[in-house]
Amino acid sequence: MALRWWWRWCGASSRRAPALGSLPRLRPPGPGCHSPPPPAPGAAVCHFTQRSSTFSFPKICNIFWRFHHTSMSHLCSCSKTASDEKYQDPFQLGRKDLKNLYEDIKKELLVSTVELKEMCDYYFDGKGKAFRPMIVVLMARACNIHHNNSREVQASQRSVAIIAEMIHTASLVHDDVIDDANSRRGKMTVNQIWGERKAVLAGDFILSAASLALARIGNTTIISVLTQVIEDLVSILGCPDPKVHEIAYQYGKNVGIAFQLIDDVLDFTSCADHLGKPAAADLKLGLATGPVLFACRQFPEMNAMIMRRFSKPGDVERARKYVLQSDGVQQTTYLAQRYCHEATREISKLRPSPEREALIQLTEMVLMRDK
């Protein structure tokens, strides 16, 4: 699956399997509150499987309930954002700063080999959602407004938006090779058209071009931060205040986790044609995501299937059936809501601005997306 920065944040230290029967259940939120209540003291908790070509099933840890140490009062009544600003369409608001985004990316990918250029250009066709660059430019403007009341995106900040999309796309190319995927964004993958070796080369080239673009920014702190999370970059460039850096980091972290949780839900609820990539892909790769782990509470027999990575004939079909019969999808969605609520709480610490409200709207768009 995609190179997801939040796996580095969550971490994994043990190869031993947890007792999934003790996984705590999320309950639907009660009246007036859209967040599930905290678990009983001492309740065991579980971690998602780390996404890699080598299977690992980490020990029990607290990703599901990390938020229970934060103030619950901020997470209630979040179906409507606490804002005095008029609704802002994030993509409309950030359109000016993202104009010619893909043309500028292609300028970074200057290469003499025709075939390599065709592979590099294949995903940069202007049809992507550009979700990550959108967050970058909106965060840039929100931080700039907070710092010195400037709504202009700096050239270096826009460069980060370009670099973010390049690194993300390079990871998709590599992930499709690892997963042996045959479709992405509704069309054939690079590895299916040009072969695995050339696809890896294309991904490496895109990543190297992004690194060169990053070096041209000339900020050693930015280069260092890239090894942690892309979302940190634009706050450092726009504002010297460490508190603002932390707000931007927390927003990006929580939106990223929510985005992946919804991605895991869609793997069970959306058809392949609509999703643009094969459905039930994680199960076929032997990966246990949120819906699967929650479903284990109701169907303990899934534990054995998880341990053998759904390798026996019929395991994938049975596991998918169990997930859909359980409340695993619903519980994973509740968890994604928690992360989005936390992202909203963090970004609300910035000075009010249309960009801040657009970032809040993006969290709701993450929850409502269907592909």
The C-alpha atoms of residue 4 and residue 50 are separated, in whole angstroms, by 10
Most confident of 48-52, 99-103, 173-177, 316-320: 316-320
Predicted local confidence at residue 265, as pLDDT: 94
The C-alpha atoms of residue 231 and residue 105 are separated, in whole angstroms, by 19
Q: Hey, what are 2's tokens? A: 């995609």
Predicted local confidence at residue 6, as pLDDT: 32
Predicted local confidence at residue 52, as pLDDT: 34
- For the chain, what is the mean pLDDT? 75
The C-alpha atoms of residue 282 and residue 174 are separated, in whole angstroms, by 16
Task: Kindly report, residue by residue over 203-230, the tens digit of the pLDDT.
Answer: 889 988 888 888 887 777 766 666 554 4
The C-alpha atoms of residue 239 and residue 1 are separated, in whole angstroms, by 33
3-state secondary structure of 188: strand
The C-alpha atoms of residue 169 and residue 163 are separated, in whole angstroms, by 10
The fraction of the chain above a pLDDT of 70, given in percent, is 70
Task: Kindly report, residue by residue over 130-184, the tens digit of the pLDDT.
Answer: 888 999 899 999 999 998 888 888 888 898 899 889 988 888 888 888 888 888 8
Q: Hey, what are 271's tokens? A: 């058809």
Predicted local confidence at residue 288, as pLDDT: 93
Predicted local confidence at residue 329, as pLDDT: 95
Task: Kindly report, residue by residue over 286-315, the tens digit of the pLDDT.
Answer: 999 999 999 999 999 999 999 999 999 999
pTM comes to 0.60
Predicted local confidence at residue 215, as pLDDT: 81
Task: Kindly report, residue by residue over 53-62, the tens digit of the pLDDT.
Answer: 322 333 222 3
